[in-house]
Amino acid sequence: MTGVHIVTDSSCDLTEEQAAAAGIRVVPLNIRFGTEEFVDREQLSVSDFYAKMASTGILPETSAPSPGRFEQTFREAAEAGATAVVCINLSSELSATMQSARTAAGSLAGQIDVRVIDSLSLTGGLGTMVLAASALAASGADADAVEALVTSMIPRTEIYGALDTLENLKKGGRIGSAKALLGSMLSVKPIIHIKDGAVEEAGKQRTRRRALEWMRDQLFNEPVVEQLSILHGNAEDIDVFLEMISSRYPRESIRLGTIGAVIGTHGGPGVIGMCYLRG
Protein backbone atom coordinates (compact mmCIF):
# COMPACT_ATOMS: atom_id res chain seq x y z
CA MET A 1 0.00 0.00 0.00
CA THR A 2 1.50 3.31 -1.05
CA GLY A 3 1.05 6.59 0.78
CA VAL A 4 1.68 7.50 4.40
CA HIS A 5 1.89 4.61 6.86
CA ILE A 6 1.19 4.99 10.57
CA VAL A 7 3.28 3.47 13.35
CA THR A 8 2.68 3.63 17.09
CA ASP A 9 3.55 1.66 20.21
CA SER A 10 1.56 -0.76 22.33
CA SER A 11 0.61 1.86 24.93
CA CYS A 12 -2.05 3.05 22.44
CA ASP A 13 -4.36 0.28 23.71
CA LEU A 14 -5.88 -0.40 20.31
CA THR A 15 -6.80 -4.03 19.85
CA GLU A 16 -5.01 -6.09 17.26
CA GLU A 17 -8.20 -6.07 15.22
CA GLN A 18 -8.50 -2.27 15.37
CA ALA A 19 -4.87 -1.77 14.38
CA ALA A 20 -5.04 -4.29 11.55
CA ALA A 21 -8.26 -2.83 10.15
CA ALA A 22 -6.69 0.64 10.08
CA GLY A 23 -3.36 -0.57 8.71
CA ILE A 24 -1.50 0.61 11.81
CA ARG A 25 1.80 -0.98 12.80
CA VAL A 26 2.26 -1.35 16.57
CA VAL A 27 5.73 -1.63 18.12
CA PRO A 28 5.50 -3.45 21.48
CA LEU A 29 7.04 -2.38 24.75
CA ASN A 30 8.35 -4.98 27.19
CA ILE A 31 6.73 -6.05 30.46
CA ARG A 32 8.75 -7.47 33.33
CA PHE A 33 7.48 -9.49 36.29
CA GLY A 34 10.47 -9.94 38.57
CA THR A 35 13.03 -11.82 36.50
CA GLU A 36 10.56 -12.74 33.74
CA GLU A 37 10.35 -10.40 30.74
CA PHE A 38 7.68 -10.51 28.04
CA VAL A 39 7.11 -8.69 24.77
CA ASP A 40 3.78 -6.93 25.13
CA ARG A 41 0.99 -8.52 23.07
CA GLU A 42 3.35 -11.02 21.45
CA GLN A 43 4.27 -13.02 24.56
CA LEU A 44 1.73 -11.65 27.03
CA SER A 45 -1.92 -10.96 26.24
CA VAL A 46 -3.91 -8.34 28.09
CA SER A 47 -5.95 -10.95 29.94
CA ASP A 48 -2.82 -12.90 30.88
CA PHE A 49 -1.21 -9.71 32.16
CA TYR A 50 -4.02 -8.96 34.61
CA ALA A 51 -4.24 -12.60 35.67
CA LYS A 52 -0.49 -12.69 36.33
CA MET A 53 -0.56 -9.44 38.30
CA ALA A 54 -3.40 -10.79 40.45
CA SER A 55 -1.94 -14.27 41.01
CA THR A 56 1.69 -13.34 41.67
CA GLY A 57 1.24 -10.12 43.63
CA ILE A 58 4.31 -8.79 41.80
CA LEU A 59 4.19 -5.18 40.67
CA PRO A 60 5.33 -5.32 37.03
CA GLU A 61 7.65 -2.89 35.25
CA THR A 62 7.92 -1.73 31.65
CA SER A 63 10.80 -0.96 29.30
CA ALA A 64 10.86 0.77 25.95
CA PRO A 65 11.30 -1.03 22.62
CA SER A 66 14.81 -1.01 21.21
CA PRO A 67 15.64 1.40 18.38
CA GLY A 68 16.18 -1.71 16.26
CA ARG A 69 12.57 -2.77 16.71
CA PHE A 70 11.40 0.61 15.42
CA GLU A 71 13.89 0.54 12.56
CA GLN A 72 12.63 -2.87 11.51
CA THR A 73 9.05 -1.60 11.53
CA PHE A 74 9.93 1.52 9.52
CA ARG A 75 11.73 -0.64 6.93
CA GLU A 76 8.73 -2.97 6.70
CA ALA A 77 6.49 0.01 5.98
CA ALA A 78 8.85 1.22 3.25
CA GLU A 79 8.99 -2.25 1.72
CA ALA A 80 5.19 -2.32 1.72
CA GLY A 81 5.15 0.86 -0.39
CA ALA A 82 5.07 3.68 2.16
CA THR A 83 6.10 7.05 0.77
CA ALA A 84 6.49 8.29 4.35
CA VAL A 85 5.97 7.03 7.90
CA VAL A 86 4.35 8.98 10.71
CA CYS A 87 5.20 7.43 14.09
CA ILE A 88 3.11 8.62 17.05
CA ASN A 89 4.25 7.54 20.48
CA LEU A 90 3.70 7.45 24.21
CA SER A 91 4.62 10.67 26.04
CA SER A 92 8.36 11.21 26.35
CA GLU A 93 7.69 12.35 29.94
CA LEU A 94 6.70 8.79 30.83
CA SER A 95 8.88 6.51 28.72
CA ALA A 96 12.06 6.25 26.65
CA THR A 97 9.96 4.94 23.76
CA MET A 98 10.15 8.28 21.92
CA GLN A 99 13.93 8.26 22.21
CA SER A 100 14.10 4.80 20.61
CA ALA A 101 11.81 5.88 17.76
CA ARG A 102 13.85 9.03 17.12
CA THR A 103 17.11 7.08 17.13
CA ALA A 104 15.66 4.64 14.59
CA ALA A 105 14.35 7.45 12.40
CA GLY A 106 17.75 9.16 12.51
CA SER A 107 19.49 5.98 11.38
CA LEU A 108 17.25 5.92 8.30
CA ALA A 109 17.66 9.59 7.38
CA GLY A 110 17.94 9.95 3.62
CA GLN A 111 16.42 6.50 3.09
CA ILE A 112 12.90 6.75 4.50
CA ASP A 113 10.88 9.84 5.40
CA VAL A 114 9.97 9.15 9.04
CA ARG A 115 8.17 11.75 11.18
CA VAL A 116 8.26 10.93 14.92
CA ILE A 117 5.65 12.72 17.04
CA ASP A 118 5.51 12.91 20.82
CA SER A 119 1.80 12.56 21.62
CA LEU A 120 2.28 13.80 25.20
CA SER A 121 -0.45 11.25 25.78
CA LEU A 122 -1.14 7.56 26.31
CA THR A 123 -3.81 4.85 26.13
CA GLY A 124 -7.11 6.15 24.66
CA GLY A 125 -5.68 9.61 23.95
CA LEU A 126 -2.83 8.17 21.90
CA GLY A 127 -5.19 5.68 20.28
CA THR A 128 -7.52 8.46 19.16
CA MET A 129 -4.65 10.35 17.52
CA VAL A 130 -3.39 7.22 15.79
CA LEU A 131 -6.82 6.32 14.40
CA ALA A 132 -7.34 9.88 13.14
CA ALA A 133 -3.91 9.88 11.49
CA SER A 134 -4.62 6.55 9.83
CA ALA A 135 -7.97 7.73 8.48
CA LEU A 136 -6.43 10.89 7.02
CA ALA A 137 -3.55 8.96 5.50
CA ALA A 138 -6.00 6.49 3.95
CA SER A 139 -7.77 9.40 2.25
CA GLY A 140 -4.55 10.19 0.38
CA ALA A 141 -3.19 13.00 2.54
CA ASP A 142 0.56 13.53 2.58
CA ALA A 143 2.87 13.31 5.59
CA ASP A 144 2.76 17.07 6.22
CA ALA A 145 -1.03 16.99 6.53
CA VAL A 146 -1.03 13.94 8.78
CA GLU A 147 1.65 15.43 10.99
CA ALA A 148 -0.28 18.72 11.20
CA LEU A 149 -3.48 16.93 12.19
CA VAL A 150 -1.83 15.03 15.03
CA THR A 151 0.00 18.13 16.22
CA SER A 152 -3.31 20.01 16.38
CA MET A 153 -4.91 17.24 18.46
CA ILE A 154 -2.20 17.12 21.14
CA PRO A 155 -3.14 20.28 23.11
CA ARG A 156 -6.84 19.40 22.90
CA THR A 157 -6.47 15.90 24.33
CA GLU A 158 -7.53 15.32 27.93
CA ILE A 159 -6.98 12.18 30.01
CA TYR A 160 -8.22 11.55 33.53
CA GLY A 161 -7.91 8.34 35.48
CA ALA A 162 -9.50 7.03 38.68
CA LEU A 163 -7.04 4.67 40.35
CA ASP A 164 -7.69 2.05 42.97
CA THR A 165 -4.09 2.28 44.20
CA LEU A 166 -0.98 4.41 43.74
CA GLU A 167 1.37 1.50 44.43
CA ASN A 168 2.04 0.73 40.76
CA LEU A 169 2.55 4.37 39.80
CA LYS A 170 4.85 4.89 42.77
CA LYS A 171 7.04 1.86 42.01
CA GLY A 172 7.32 2.75 38.35
CA GLY A 173 8.55 6.26 39.17
CA ARG A 174 5.90 7.82 36.92
CA ILE A 175 4.04 9.68 39.64
CA GLY A 176 5.37 13.12 38.63
CA SER A 177 3.83 16.07 40.47
CA ALA A 178 1.17 13.81 41.98
CA LYS A 179 3.64 12.94 44.78
CA ALA A 180 1.48 14.85 47.25
CA LEU A 181 -0.98 12.00 47.08
CA LEU A 182 1.49 9.53 48.57
CA GLY A 183 1.07 10.70 52.14
CA SER A 184 -2.58 9.75 52.16
CA MET A 185 -2.53 6.99 49.57
CA LEU A 186 -4.06 4.41 51.90
CA SER A 187 -7.08 6.53 52.78
CA VAL A 188 -8.06 8.03 49.43
CA LYS A 189 -9.03 7.06 45.92
CA PRO A 190 -6.71 9.14 43.73
CA ILE A 191 -7.61 10.80 40.44
CA ILE A 192 -4.83 11.69 38.04
CA HIS A 193 -4.63 14.01 35.05
CA ILE A 194 -2.17 13.77 32.18
CA LYS A 195 -0.94 17.34 31.62
CA ASP A 196 1.84 18.21 29.19
CA GLY A 197 2.58 14.51 29.00
CA ALA A 198 3.17 14.02 32.74
CA VAL A 199 1.09 12.65 35.61
CA GLU A 200 -0.49 15.26 37.90
CA GLU A 201 -2.90 15.03 40.78
CA ALA A 202 -6.42 15.97 39.73
CA GLY A 203 -8.16 15.16 42.99
CA LYS A 204 -8.67 12.63 45.72
CA GLN A 205 -11.86 11.22 47.13
CA ARG A 206 -12.62 9.12 50.17
CA THR A 207 -14.50 6.44 48.26
CA ARG A 208 -14.39 4.90 44.82
CA ARG A 209 -17.96 6.03 44.17
CA ARG A 210 -17.01 9.64 44.88
CA ALA A 211 -13.99 9.34 42.59
CA LEU A 212 -16.19 8.16 39.73
CA GLU A 213 -18.66 10.98 40.43
CA TRP A 214 -15.76 13.44 40.25
CA MET A 215 -14.82 12.06 36.83
CA ARG A 216 -18.43 12.32 35.66
CA ASP A 217 -18.67 15.93 36.83
CA GLN A 218 -15.40 16.82 35.11
CA LEU A 219 -16.71 15.35 31.87
CA PHE A 220 -20.10 17.05 32.17
CA ASN A 221 -18.45 20.42 32.86
CA GLU A 222 -16.72 20.38 29.47
CA PRO A 223 -18.64 22.60 27.00
CA VAL A 224 -17.75 20.39 24.04
CA VAL A 225 -16.39 16.84 24.09
CA GLU A 226 -15.26 15.02 20.96
CA GLN A 227 -14.24 11.38 20.45
CA LEU A 228 -14.79 10.18 24.01
CA SER A 229 -12.99 6.96 24.92
CA ILE A 230 -13.43 5.04 28.15
CA LEU A 231 -10.82 2.40 28.92
CA HIS A 232 -10.32 0.37 32.06
CA GLY A 233 -8.07 -2.19 33.69
CA ASN A 234 -10.50 -5.00 34.42
CA ALA A 235 -12.53 -2.62 36.61
CA GLU A 236 -15.48 -4.42 38.16
CA ASP A 237 -17.43 -1.16 38.37
CA ILE A 238 -16.96 -0.03 34.76
CA ASP A 239 -20.69 -0.46 34.14
CA VAL A 240 -21.40 1.79 37.12
CA PHE A 241 -19.35 4.58 35.56
CA LEU A 242 -20.87 4.07 32.11
CA GLU A 243 -24.31 4.35 33.66
CA MET A 244 -23.28 7.55 35.47
CA ILE A 245 -22.49 9.29 32.18
CA SER A 246 -25.16 7.63 30.02
CA SER A 247 -27.58 10.57 30.11
CA ARG A 248 -25.14 12.55 27.96
CA TYR A 249 -22.84 9.89 26.56
CA PRO A 250 -24.63 6.62 25.78
CA ARG A 251 -22.46 3.56 25.32
CA GLU A 252 -22.89 3.45 21.57
CA SER A 253 -21.28 6.92 21.29
CA ILE A 254 -18.15 5.92 23.25
CA ARG A 255 -15.09 3.98 22.16
CA LEU A 256 -14.75 1.40 24.92
CA GLY A 257 -11.61 -0.58 25.54
CA THR A 258 -9.31 -2.35 27.96
CA ILE A 259 -6.15 -0.71 29.24
CA GLY A 260 -3.28 -2.94 28.17
CA ALA A 261 -0.19 -4.12 30.00
CA VAL A 262 1.93 -0.98 29.43
CA ILE A 263 -0.43 1.50 31.07
CA GLY A 264 -1.95 -1.16 33.32
CA THR A 265 1.51 -1.68 34.82
CA HIS A 266 1.49 1.88 36.12
CA GLY A 267 -2.24 2.48 36.60
CA GLY A 268 -2.76 -0.79 38.43
CA PRO A 269 -5.82 -3.03 38.45
CA GLY A 270 -9.23 -1.38 38.52
CA VAL A 271 -8.16 1.87 36.86
CA ILE A 272 -10.83 3.64 34.81
CA GLY A 273 -9.67 6.26 32.34
CA MET A 274 -11.54 8.74 30.21
CA CYS A 275 -9.96 10.34 27.17
CA TYR A 276 -11.45 13.01 24.92
CA LEU A 277 -10.76 16.03 22.76
CA ARG A 278 -11.89 19.41 24.02
CA GLY A 279 -13.93 21.29 21.44
Quote the number of domains for the chain. 2
- Average of per-residue pLDDT across 165-191: 63
Mean pLDDT across the chain, nearest whole number? 93
Q: Are residues 124 and 27 in the same domain?
A: yes
For 84-93, 107-116, 166-175, which range has the lowest pLDDT when averaged over its residues?
166-175
CB contact set of 126 (below 8 Å; sequence gap of 6+): 8, 11, 12, 13, 88, 89, 90, 119
The pLDDT value given to residue 172: 53
The pLDDT value given to residue 174: 54
The pLDDT value given to residue 188: 81
Q: How far apart are CA 149 and CA 164, in angstroms?
A: 34
The CATH number of whichever domain residue 231 belongs to comes to 3.30.1180.10
Using a pLDDT cut of 70, give the percent of the chain over it. 93
Q: pLDDT band at residue 173, thresholds of 50, 70 and 90?
A: low
Q: Are residues 97 and 168 in the same domain?
A: no
CB contact set of 192 (below 8 Å; sequence gap of 6+): 160, 161, 163, 169, 178, 199, 200, 201, 202
Q: Are residues 145 and 170 in the same domain?
A: no
How do residues 18-72 score in pLDDT, each as one tens digit?
A: 999 999 999 999 999 999 999 999 999 999 999 999 999 898 999 999 999 999 9
- Average of per-residue pLDDT across 181-195: 74
Q: Are residues 141 and 160 in the same domain?
A: no
Q: pLDDT band at residue 167, thresholds of 50, 70 and 90?
A: confident
The pLDDT value given to residue 217: 98
- 207-212 long-range contacts, Cβ below 8 Å, gap at least 24? 208/162, 208/164, 208/237, 209/240, 211/162, 212/162, 212/237, 212/240, 212/241, 212/244, 212/272
Q: Are residues 97 and 36 in the same domain?
A: yes
The pLDDT value given to residue 243: 98
Q: Are residues 209 and 102 in the same domain?
A: no
For 18-22, 169-173, 255-259, which range has the lowest pLDDT when averaged over its residues?
169-173
- Average of per-residue pLDDT across 217-229: 98
Q: pLDDT band at residue 177, thresholds of 50, 70 and 90?
A: very low
154, 184, 211: which is the final residue of a domain?
154
How do residues 231-242 score in pLDDT, each as one tens digit?
A: 999 999 999 999
Range of the domain at 171: 156-278
Q: How far apart are CA 232 and CA 111, in angstroms?
A: 40
Q: How many residues in total does the chain contain? A: 279
Q: Are residues 62 and 21 in the same domain?
A: yes
The CATH number of whichever domain residue 80 belongs to comes to 3.40.50.10170
Q: Are residues 125 and 178 in the same domain?
A: no
Is pLDDT of 250 > 70? Answer: yes
Q: How far apart are CA 182 and CA 188, in angstroms?
A: 10
Q: Are residues 101 and 190 in the same domain?
A: no
Is pLDDT of 176 > 60? Answer: no
- Average of per-residue pLDDT across 167-193: 64
Q: pLDDT band at residue 182, thresholds of 50, 70 and 90?
A: low
Q: Are residues 168 and 138 in the same domain?
A: no
How do residues 91-139 score in pLDDT, each as one tens digit?
A: 999 999 999 999 999 999 999 999 999 999 999 999 999 999 999 999 9
Inter-residue contact 57 to 165 (CB < 8 Å): no
Q: Are residues 201 and 221 in the same domain?
A: yes
Q: Comparing C-alpha atoms, which of 210, 209, 208, 218 is closest to residue 160?
A: 218
